[in-house]
Structure 1
Amino acid sequence: MSAKIEDVANQFFDFVILGGGTAGLTLAARLSEDPARTVLVLEGGAAHIDVPDISRPASYGSHFANTNYSYEYKVSKQEFAGGRELVWQRGKGLGGSSGINFLCWLKPSREDIDAFGALGNPGWSWENYQRRMQNIEGFSAPSEDAKQNVNLKFDTIGKDGPLKLQFPNKIDEAEQHIQQASLILFTTGGIRWMLTYEHRLSSTTASTLRHTQSMSGDPQGFFFAPVSHDQKSQRSYSTTAFYVPNKDRENLSVLVNASVRKVHTATSPESNLIATGVEFEYEGNVYDVNARKEVIISSGALGSPHILELSGIGSKDVLEKAGVPMKLDLPGVGENVQEHIMVGLSWELKDDVQFDTLDILRDPETYAKHLELHKTVEGVFTTGVTSFGFVTLDQLTSRSLEIYKSMEDIVAKLDPKTTPPGLLEQYKLLLERYKPGSTNPGLEFISFPGLMSFPNPPEAGKRYITLLVAVNHPWSRGTIHATSNDPSKLPEIDPHYFEQGVDLTLLLELAKRAREVANTSPMKEMIVNELNPGPKVQTDEELSGWIKETFGTVWHTSSSCSMLPKDKGGVVDHTLKVHGTINLRVVDLSVVPLHVGTHTQSTVYGIADQAADIILGRC
């Protein structure tokens, strides 16, 4: 690595970045472009560079519960989900969660990004976001054969950036059948299709279709999306894109296995806090490092609020209970937490279906065979989760007006005396997303090539297909707070799942619609029977009960350090500077004020890129 403890302890750096994950390494690369600026990154995990378990795609979930590669955060018992106790995993090591994610590359809607600005943050807009993506994306167009299946307009995705993106070498015909079934089912609801399947459909049906473009701010429809693979089918993530190419810069230092304990601060004559340095632990000893210009927290939506509170910045009540002396009363820290929720439905495939799902890797001999195949860029480890559908409430269900009115009731019943600051403004924007006629989709279908559902286990030798359904514009709000002044004790996480019952209603309608897709040709000809939830689960009450027992997170937690005005519950301003401080910023997904309606990898990179220009005075 570029730094040893003697290079860091008690030394001075212009910028000290807390976290070497998706945002942290992106930001470090940008800030260190000028050799006159010194940059230090402190990362709590190991380097994991060129480790096959990380670099090999399609190893989904294999890093979870492995303490070398992930942190395990236990979630509080969920009052509105039958007392469920979930676990949230986050990447541990350089690259952070970009090193253990499912590699999906999707972009939010234009409205989702413009909402940042609408909530009081000038300079945050879809146009700026798209410019950021040109700095990040290094897309390689698919082969001519693949273009027949993936007919997106490639002029709206960047080609020269360091993060390598591509479509998998092979998109199975079975995946195409699943999308075709979705198309046929949803076309009558006015869904716009993103692929050229006209040759498979009647001319009447085909004439109703309009092509759209998932990379230009309009993700509505069904489509195949790129993945963060390079051309050798290795994971492309913040380590390979932003650290490795720049690791020999003399002004860039990265210290791994260095766990941040707190930020040191002083008080300015104007009574604002000044970040002066950082206390961290390395190999059992505690050290300090000094910051000449800024300290930047990039520890994710779970880690960043925790570091702020350990540093004495947060709600007075929370800090008192945790035994942390208060430096700055900032009640928004750890509040407004938002998370995408999903549940999986799975079907057994017929024996004659030609589809190598990930289930075949349960056999040790087959697993070993595909490890070898991956060396020649073949086999199931080169595949990706690429098949997606995004629909509006109108398109999802005939109950849309009834459900929308229940959302209006939520807003109408808000008590001004007890409602968290800024929540009303967020809810008004949510109503816009769900209102009749909206074209902003936040309800998602994901085709997963294998079993990813509960509670019924797989049968040896069988293959499965899973439709994951997700609510990406949730109404419930959670919290993440320190409970102790001991930095090794993880924060208490309470997402308040289903506190707003409409989130459960949306997930129920999605699950019912997924069953309809499975019962539509040509998907229905591929399957034997439903494994999960199974034929015994039929009524809305039974299906809702199954959802509460088996739903999970999408690992897209946001908003715990929301970019909002202070009087609206904000933690950082539009420059990502912590309210009440002179030189302390937060740069990661925690600053998103209202959650975006899609997978978040691209948004984190975009936030980091814009943060660099803000810090350097370029915007």
Structure 2
Amino acid sequence: MKQWMRETRMDSFDYVIIGAGSAGCVLASRLSENPGTRVLLLEAGGSDLNFWVRMPIGYGKAFHDAKLNWKYSTEPDAGTTGKPAYWPRGKVLGGSSSINAMVYIRGQAGDFDDWAALGNPGWSFDELLPIYRRMEDNLAGEDEWRGCDGPLTVSNIEDSVHPLCANYLAAAEAAGLARNSDFNGATQEGVGIYQITTRRGFRCSAATAYLQPARKRRNLDVRTRAHVTRILFRGKRAVGVEYLQGTEVKQVTARAEVILSAGAVNSPQILQLSGIGDPATLKPLGIDVLHAAPMVGQNLQDHVGFDHLYKSKKPTLNDVLRPWWGRLRVGLQYVLIRTGPLSLSVNQGGGFVRTNPAHSRPNIQLYFSPVSYTRAQPGKRALMSPDVFSGFLMGVSNCHPKSRGSIDIRSADPAAPPKIVPNYLSCDEDVSELLEAGNMLRRIAATAPMQDIIAQELKPGPQITSDAEMIADIRARTGTVFHPCGTCSMGPAQESAVVDARLRVHGLDGLRVVDASIFPRITSGNLNAPSMMVGEKGAQMILQDAARITGLS
């Protein structure tokens, strides 16, 4: 630490949670329900009281706002023609749930059954479904799959989406795909309209759903602009946290546990900065190895995909959001009655499909966005400045990528961003299924309902026809859909995992990881819902273990 930084006295809490993201907010809420338990939540970012956070379509701005976002970049990636990938990650109360596209997808039942089969008891879908239902306030109403009394509002938007979504759904059916009215119901397979996490026209993030009500409790302390530099240990037991707030280095102690919920990038980074990781990574940086854990930062997984871009015969959201008078109209609509395009995500239609019968369950996610934009840089989404022509996008991403990457610190400086090596499309199977997905998009586009609205395929363009040309286009235009996970993976053995099935770091005491980094395998679809579920499940296990230790019921 720099010479001018000064230390202050040490506070003590029962639980210290690092990161107020999708899982961290859930933990802070659930662990502080007992008024006799003192909980501290540390967040490197600031308040989520921001217009671009609260307005749903504002994520197009929040994606590039350094006040809200870590704005990471990966290393140049050979699988996608040497491009680096831009990785927005939330640096704000609510974490990435405050800047994401709000699509609510739990994942396939088989995803979680696979987790359990890998040696993680308690993580099968049947065991997790009650936790999901406990989370939800689904405005579609309660049934055997959905909950309606939970803190997280899940909204159906079928009556609000752009009219061209009807063409997309009819075209998908004409191409042989089934309709599905609820991707979070009995099955994920089929095409339909996405549910999103909004409440009365505002984003319903983890901070809105869980943290905001809990902050009224005197036993919960939330500290923002608190950048954690390392976890403190006594022997092999985590006993506290050191963090930087302003110019002060501060330390706090945890009587029960330290809980790391900093996400797929920052959780492995903080572990490595604390001396927990592969000695071959830590020793050259001058970091003393507290505990050799070679899987920290490994097993990185992410969904990747690409869009087919079309010029439209009929008006799209481009015609609303591009001219100043259109933005004024929908802006007034949003301000006055909290409805209209600004109250939604641009990912309106979509689905989960099998690209060939050999797959036992859906392997590709579909997207339909009634808007188009040209990405000047990787990851750019100028949602409020779409193309000047009427256009729309159909897109795909892989549900179960086989490619694996890594995240490792490159410096002992906590402020230095880590080295992110995604290894996208390094597995031939990932390339093959994206090729099949691209051909499926063309089959959908060739149906009468889509031909009624397609004026021209702009990308990849009709000149791209052969498999080799399609694969070259896929590698050139494929990018992340912002779902990194797996870097502190869960499993029964330290040689192949970082945490056990109760999310305790192998070989250490008093330390858990509770966030998307624990996913042993990536789930199908958007990751916010399963990340929050991990927060709920983690809190449940922490409280159960504490009760066993103290003999409480």
TM-score calculated relative to the size of structure 2: 0.92
Match of 1:101 in 2: 100
Match of 2:475 in 1: 548
**What pairs up with 1:158-237 in 2 under 5 angstroms?**
158-168=147-157, 169-185=159-175, 187=176, 191-195=177-181, 214-216=183-185, 218-230=187-199, 232-237=200-205
Query: Is the 8 Å Cα contact of residues 399 and 523 (structure 2) preserved in structure 1?
Result: yes
Q: Does 1:368 align with 2:367?
A: no
Match of 2:465 in 1: 538
Cα distance in 2 for partners of 1:261, 1:367 equals: 43
Query: Is the 8 Å Cα contact of residues 141 and 154 (structure 1) preserved in structure 2?
Result: no
- Which residue type is aligned with residue 20 of structure 2? G
Aligned pair partner of 1:330 in 288, 293, 313: 293
SS in 2 for 1:253: strand
Query: Is the 8 Å Cα contact of residues 107 and 217 (structure 1) preserved in structure 2?
Result: no
Aligned pair partner of 1:598 in 520, 525, 528: 525
**What pairs up with 1:310-389 in 2 under 5 angstroms?**
310-350=273-313, 353=314, 355=316, 357=317, 360-375=320-335, 376-384=337-345, 385-389=347-351
Match of 2:414 in 1: 487
Q: Which moved more, 1:580-589 or 1:173-182?
A: 173-182
- How much has 1:368 moved relative to structure 2? 2.8
Cα distance in 1 for partners of 2:150, 2:9 equals: 34
Q: Which runs of 5+ in 1 are unaligned?
A: 1-5, 143-152, 196-212, 268-272, 396-435
Deviations 1:442-480 (A, max 9, x none): 211111121156579998642211011101211111000
Match of 1:405 in 2: none
- How much has 1:521 moved relative to structure 2? 1.6
- How much has 1:281 moved relative to structure 2? 0.6
Aligned pair partner of 2:250 in 283, 287, 292: 287
SS in 2 for 1:91: coil
Q: Which runs of 5+ in 2 are unaligned?
A: 1-5, 548-553
- How much has 1:530 moved relative to structure 2? 1.2
Match of 1:411 in 2: none
**What pairs up with 1:291-302 in 2 under 5 angstroms?**
291-302=254-265
Q: Does 1:76 align with 2:37?
A: no
Match of 1:140 in 2: 139
Cα distance in 2 for partners of 1:10, 1:539 equals: 65
- Which residue type is aligned with residue 239 of structure 1? A
Query: Is the 8 Å Cα contact of residues 180 and 192 (structure 2) preserved in structure 1?
Result: yes
Query: Is the 8 Å Cα contact of residues 355 and 440 (structure 2) preserved in structure 1?
Result: no
Deviations 1:44-93 (A, max 9, x none): 001122x2211101234321221011111111111232211111110110
Q: Does 1:22 align with 2:29?
A: no
- How much has 1:290 moved relative to structure 2? 1.1
Query: Is the 8 Å Cα contact of residues 293 and 494 (structure 2) preserved in structure 1?
Result: no
Aligned pair partner of 2:511 in 570, 584, 587: 584
TM-score calculated relative to the size of structure 1: 0.82
Gap change, CA 1:165 and 1:277, over 3 Å in 2: same
Gap change, CA 1:253 and 1:277, over 3 Å in 2: same
Match of 1:450 in 2: 371
- Which residue type is aligned with residue 552 of structure 1? G
Cα distance in 2 for partners of 1:164, 1:111 equals: 25
Cα distance in 2 for partners of 1:452, 1:292 equals: 51
Q: Which moved more, 1:453-462 or 1:586-595?
A: 453-462
Cα distance in 2 for partners of 1:579, 1:55 equals: 39
Cα distance in 1 for partners of 2:99, 2:243 equals: 24
Query: Is the 8 Å Cα contact of residues 162 and 370 (structure 2) preserved in structure 1?
Result: no
- How much has 1:155 moved relative to structure 2? 4.5
Cα distance in 2 for partners of 1:278, 1:460 equals: 48
- How much has 1:140 moved relative to structure 2? 1.1
Cα distance in 1 for partners of 2:524, 2:155 equals: 22
Gap change, CA 1:530 and 1:9, over 3 Å in 2: farther
Match of 1:433 in 2: none
Cα distance in 1 for partners of 2:487, 2:259 equals: 16
Cα distance in 2 for partners of 1:108, 1:506 equals: 19
Gap change, CA 1:359 and 1:74, over 3 Å in 2: farther
Cα distance in 2 for partners of 1:71, 1:299 equals: 12
Match of 1:566 in 2: 493
- How much has 1:611 moved relative to structure 2? 0.6
Q: Does 1:92 align with 2:78?
A: no
Match of 2:230 in 1: 262
Cα distance in 2 for partners of 1:24, 1:508 equals: 38
Query: Is the 8 Å Cα contact of residues 165 and 348 (structure 2) preserved in structure 1?
Result: no
Deviations 1:304-361 (A, max 9, x none): 00000000000110111332110000001001111111101111111xx354x15632
Gap change, CA 1:381 and 1:459, over 3 Å in 2: closer
- How much has 1:297 moved relative to structure 2? 0.5
Aligned pair partner of 2:535 in 579, 596, 608: 608
Gap change, CA 1:263 and 1:535, over 3 Å in 2: same
Match of 2:551 in 1: none
- How much has 1:228 moved relative to structure 2? 0.4
- Which residue type is aligned with residue 222 of structure 2? V
- Which residue type is aligned with residue 48 of structure 2? H
- How much has 1:170 moved relative to structure 2? 1.0
- Which residue type is aligned with residue 193 of structure 2? F
Gap change, CA 1:594 and 1:452, over 3 Å in 2: farther
Aligned pair partner of 1:466 in 387, 393, 399: 393
- How much has 1:287 moved relative to structure 2? 1.2
Match of 2:129 in 1: 130
Query: Is the 8 Å Cα contact of residues 453 and 466 (structure 1) preserved in structure 2?
Result: no
Gap change, CA 1:157 and 1:481, over 3 Å in 2: same
**What pairs up with 1:436-447 in 2 under 5 angstroms?**
436=358, 438=360, 440-447=361-368
- Which residue type is aligned with residue 605 of structure 1? M
Cα distance in 1 for partners of 2:473, 2:443 equals: 18
Query: Is the 8 Å Cα contact of residues 315 and 332 (structure 1) preserved in structure 2?
Result: yes
Match of 1:206 in 2: none
- Which residue type is aligned with residue 298 of structure 1? S
Query: Is the 8 Å Cα contact of residues 103 and 228 (structure 1) preserved in structure 2?
Result: yes
SS in 2 for 1:446: strand
Query: Is the 8 Å Cα contact of residues 295 and 497 (structure 2) preserved in structure 1?
Result: yes
- Which residue type is aligned with residue 248 of structure 1? K
Cα distance in 1 for partners of 2:441, 2:9 equals: 55
Query: Is the 8 Å Cα contact of residues 321 and 484 (structure 1) preserved in structure 2?
Result: no
Aligned pair partner of 1:390 in 313, 333, 352: 352
- How much has 1:284 moved relative to structure 2? 2.5
- Which residue type is aligned with residue 517 of structure 1? I
- Which residue type is aligned with residue 571 of structure 1? V
Match of 2:3 in 1: none
Query: Is the 8 Å Cα contact of residues 107 and 219 (structure 1) preserved in structure 2?
Result: no
Cα distance in 2 for partners of 1:342, 1:437 equals: 19
